[in-house]
Amino acid sequence: MADDCVFCEIVAGRIPADVVHETATVVAFRDLSPQAPLHVLVVPREHAVDAAELADHHPDRLAELVKVARDVAAESGHESYRLVFNTGAEAGQSVFHTHLHVLAGRVLTWPPG
């Protein structure tokens, strides 16, 4: 757990979140500023700054994030969905704890904003 990490606080249950799925190692909760009808963040329980760091230390956990994202989309009735990792501030990462965005429920254009 990292000091001052909002996602670590959510995982620990100290900050409330609308949790939609959880396992022993992963938590998925609704984004506070949804960009699609379904917008969920899937995070590992252990702190890693970004997807690359998680891949270096726990590649199996990175795969689990993707599997949980698939399950969340399916449980919400979506066959089509977008998965997004933002890595670094210039790419739009604002919370430096690995998180996978799951977006679905509307047509998602390309390229994204």
Using CA atoms, how far residue 40 sits from 3, 7, 56, 57, 82, in Å, is 23, 13, 24, 24, 11
Positions of E strands within 1-113: 19-22, 26-30, 38-44, 82-84, 100-104
Among 102, 104, 106, which residue's Cα sits nearest to residue 21?
102
- For domain 6-104, the CATH architecture is 2-Layer Sandwich (3.30)
Residues of the chain under the 50 pLDDT cut: none
Q: Which residue, among 14, 71, 15, has the nearest Cα to 42 in the 3D structure?
A: 71
Long-range contacts for 59-63 (Cβ within 8 Å, ≥24 apart)? 61/25, 61/26
Catalytically annotated residue among 47, 97, 99, 101: 99
Q: Residue 101 catalytic?
A: no
Burial-class residue 95 by CB neighbours within 10 Å (0-12, 13-18, 19+).
middle
Predicted local confidence at residue 113, as pLDDT: 64
Q: What is the pLDDT of residue 2?
A: 74
